[in-house]
């Protein structure tokens, strides 16, 4: 039986430290090759971690690593960061599934260039930077598995791996006759492929059909992989697709046309050295005709890289964005959820909402609890905010919270409550709160309730038993909410927009983790809404969105919260963040925190005078 690891796959972490005197590991007879392991590692679901100290200078002068391992039939999921090296600038990683023979039972050896190890921003590993002092392997799993790591040796390709090593001598990856095609029943290359087969070539015109009865027509994707032998020279790759395509040579992207389009041919020239090289083509189909063709041949060209479309029809983009975001919201959490027991007057709320109108917002996000705490009337306070917001011609984004979900207003956190029934009953009993065009989030940031084994659980109470439970709840919340709004005749309310942190959504700050959102959940939601506090974790919005869009190409993105700026130049952070979010595929932005009570990012003061960054945000909300 084929065993599959889904979540964090085989992770080999190499790091080097200033403690130059430490050396535990096997330096082989050749000064060129250094074996990192003093003994083989046997990793199972009962033993998921192993450590090995190494010389802190071990990578200097080396440019390749040879890894010998046995998967025992385990299938590494494509894209997981299964081999990782740390330098002083953070994670650098590759996926073993792109190098070795996946799902194989038996020993195999792969040689990998250290320059292939890159972070999410495509920065290459710096082997000259001092690193920490251990070699680390870790497996995360949700199925039984056994993986042996027999050898891991670094060497310089100028001398080649040493035959005197006590470890297994690395072998050269062999050329394969055709392509391994992995076919997904979604257009995002997410989840497990529903079909894996050998294709002699990539030369398909499925018209309005699909590659196989297992795959639905119109929305599917495919990744083809082949290791082929090349002689030194320039090669021309010819690609014809309807719709999107990405083409890689040895993990270098040489063509990126991940857009909806009629059948279009692109020609790309690439200089390739002698030896075995890995060719990967990724493709997605989004309604209409389905064409995927690719071939390559050696030419006399000297150009290193060019991409020239020979046909240029007007693309049909999945998401078109010009000018302002369709959803331009400001968040009132500090003045709604946090003030139920010390409510502001209607006139004060009017001044607050007037600032939103001045800014150019079309939504106001409110976060009052579903129930009334003992100290205040949340229901009436909610209606006051709704009344004022509507009087100014704006729509409402409801981001309400059950009291016991996170344990707010001194209510004990409870994981036995039926929150779906509570949400449904609330919608039906407050039908006059809602209008078509409003946004309804059943529970914002639901991961904050705690997911067993994945996130922190406040008070040791986890609302979700694990990844599957969390995803099922999200899908059920979508269904229950849709049914509730249908029952009150408000089918025009937009539902979902939950707000996920980067760790949950795409593995931010943990690049060997691809996030826990299942493809069925993403399809049910129809978008991914993220809450992002980049300055708090030393990252930029641009980097986060690059990672998210690479993880879920073509899926609309909404910035559900942005704020909590920790010092620095607030105006510049606003410009950088909102500027990075003005890109195709991002369809909404909720500025948090709009009014007083934030951590420096609020746009106006207690007396309703504008802060310096008000005009910066206004320029994004009002101008294309």
In this prediction, residue 394 carries a pLDDT of: 96
| Pair of tokens at residue 567 | 């010092």
Helices 378-391 and 346-359 pack at an angle, to 10 degrees, of 40
pLDDT at 257: 85
Helix (H) or strand (E) holding 531: strand 528-532
Q: What is the pLDDT of residue 70?
A: 82
DSSP-assigned states of every residue in 18-75: S-TT---SEE-SSSS-EE--SS-EEEETTB-EEEEE--TTTTTT--EEEEEEE-TTEE
- Whether this prediction's pTM lies above 0.75 is answered by no
How high is the pLDDT of residue 50? Answer: 56
User: Which token pair is 506?
Assistant: 């795409």
Question: Degrees (nearest 5) of the Cα angle 288, 494, 516?
Answer: 75
Distance CA 302, CA 268 (A): 12
What's the confidence (pLDDT) of residue 177?
74
How remote is the C-alpha of 103 from its chain's centroid? Answer: 24
CA distance 112 to 94: 9
Render pLDDT for 116-170 as a digit per residue (tens, 0 to 9): 877 656 678 777 764 544 444 444 333 456 778 877 788 887 654 433 333 333 3
3 state DSSP class of 102: coil
DSSP percent split of the chain into helix, strand, coil, nearest 5: 20, 30, 50
Question: Residue 27 has what pLDDT?
Answer: 35
Q: For position 321, what pLDDT does the model report?
A: 32
Cα(221)–Cα(223) distance, integer angstroms: 7
Fold of 3-155: Jelly Rolls (2.60.120)
Cβ proximity of 25 and 52 under 8 Å: yes
CATH code: domain 179-309 is 2.60.120.260
Q: Which residue spans of the chain are classified as CATH 2.60.120.260?
A: 179-309
- The pLDDT assigned to 596 comes to 85
| DSSP-assigned beta bridge partners for residue 233 | 272
Alpha-carbon distance of 296 to 275, in angstroms, equals: 16
In this structure, the number of other CB atoms found within 10 A of the CB of residue 26 comes to 17
Beta bridge partners of 65: 112, 154
Which residue is associated with the tokens 């439970």?
469
Residue ranges of the chain with pLDDT lower than 70?
1-32, 44-56, 75-93, 97, 102, 119-122, 129-145, 158-176, 300-324, 507-514, 533-539, 564-568, 598-599, 624
The predicted pLDDT at position 570 comes to 78
């Amino acid at each position: 039986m084929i065993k599959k690891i889904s979540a964090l796959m085989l992770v080999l972490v190499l790091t080097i430290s200033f403690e130059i005197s430490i050396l535990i590991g096997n330096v082989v007879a050749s000064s060129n090759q250094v074996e990192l392991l003093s003994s083989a590692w046997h990793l199972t679901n009962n033993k998921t971690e192993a450590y090995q100290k190494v010389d802190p200078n071990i990578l200097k002068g080396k440019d390749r690593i040879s890894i010998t391992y046995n998967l025992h039939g385990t299938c590494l999921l494509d894209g997981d960061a299964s081999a990782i090296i740390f330098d002083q600038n953070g994670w650098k990683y590759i996926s073993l599934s792109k190098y070795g023979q996946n799902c194989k039972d038996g020993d195999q050896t792969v040689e990998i260039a250290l320059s292939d190890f890159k972070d999410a921003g495509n920065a290459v590993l710096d082997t000259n930077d001092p690193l920490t002092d251990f070699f680390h392997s870790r497996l995360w799993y949700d199925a039984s598995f056994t993986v042996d790591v027999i050898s891991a040796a670094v060497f310089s390709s100028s001398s080649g791996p040493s035959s005197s090593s006590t470890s297994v001598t690395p072998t050269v990856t062999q050329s394969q006759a055709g392509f391994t095609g992995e076919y997904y029943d979604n257009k995002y290359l997410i989840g497990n492929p529903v079909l894996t087969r050998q294709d002699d070539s990539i030369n398909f015109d499925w018209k309005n059909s699909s590659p196989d009865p297992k795959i639905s027509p119109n929305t599917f994707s495919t990744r083809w992989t082949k290791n082929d032998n090349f002689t030194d020279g320039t090669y021309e790759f010819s690609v014809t697709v309807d719709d999107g395509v990405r083409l890689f040579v040895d993990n270098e992207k040489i063509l990126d046309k991940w857009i909806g389009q009629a059948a279009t041919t692109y020609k790309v020239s690439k200089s390739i050295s002698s030896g075995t090289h890995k060719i990967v083509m990724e493709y997605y189909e989004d309604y209409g005709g389905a064409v995927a063709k690719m071939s390559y041949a050696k030419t006399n060209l000297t150009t290193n890289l060019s991409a020239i479309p020979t046909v240029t029809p007007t693309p049909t983009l999945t998401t078109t964005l010009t000018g302002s975001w369709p959803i331009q919201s400001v968040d009132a959490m500090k003045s709604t959820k946090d003030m139920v027991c010390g409510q502001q007057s209607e006139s004060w709320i009017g001044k607050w909402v007037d600032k939103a109108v001045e800014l150019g917002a079309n939504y106001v996000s409110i976060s009052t609890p579903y129930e009334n705490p003992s100290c205040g009337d949340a229901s009436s306070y909610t209606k006051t905010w709704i009344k004022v917001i509507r009087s100014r011609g704006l729509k409402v984004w409801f981001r309400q919270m059950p009291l016991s979900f996170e344990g707010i207003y001194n209510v004990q956190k409870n994981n036995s409550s039926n929150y779906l029934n509570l949400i449904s009953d609330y919608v039906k009993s407050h039908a006059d709160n809602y209008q078509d065009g409003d946004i309804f989030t059943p529970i914002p940031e639901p991961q904050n309730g705690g997911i067993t084994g994945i996130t922190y659980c406040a008070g040791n109470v986890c609302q979700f038993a694990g990844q599957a439970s969390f995803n099922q709840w999200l899908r059920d919340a979508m269904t229950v909410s849709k049914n509730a709004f249908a029952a009150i005749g408000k089918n025009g309310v937009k539902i979902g927009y939950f707000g996920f942190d980067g760790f949950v959504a795409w593995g931010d700050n943990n690049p060997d983790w691809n996030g826990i959102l299942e493809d069925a959940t993403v399809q049910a939601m129809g978008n991914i809404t993220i809450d992002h506090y980049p300055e708090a974790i030393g990252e930029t919005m641009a980097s986060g969105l690059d990672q998210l869009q690479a993880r879920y190409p073509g899926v609309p993105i909404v910035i559900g919260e942005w704020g909590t700026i920790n010092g620095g130049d607030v105006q510049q952070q606003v410009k950088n963040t909102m500027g990075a979010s003005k890109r195709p595929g991002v369809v909404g932005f909720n500025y948090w925190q709009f009014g007083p009570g934030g951590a420096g990012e609020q746009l106006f003061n207690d007396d309703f005078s504008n802060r310096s960054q008000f005009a910066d945000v206004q320029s994004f909300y009002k101008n294309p």
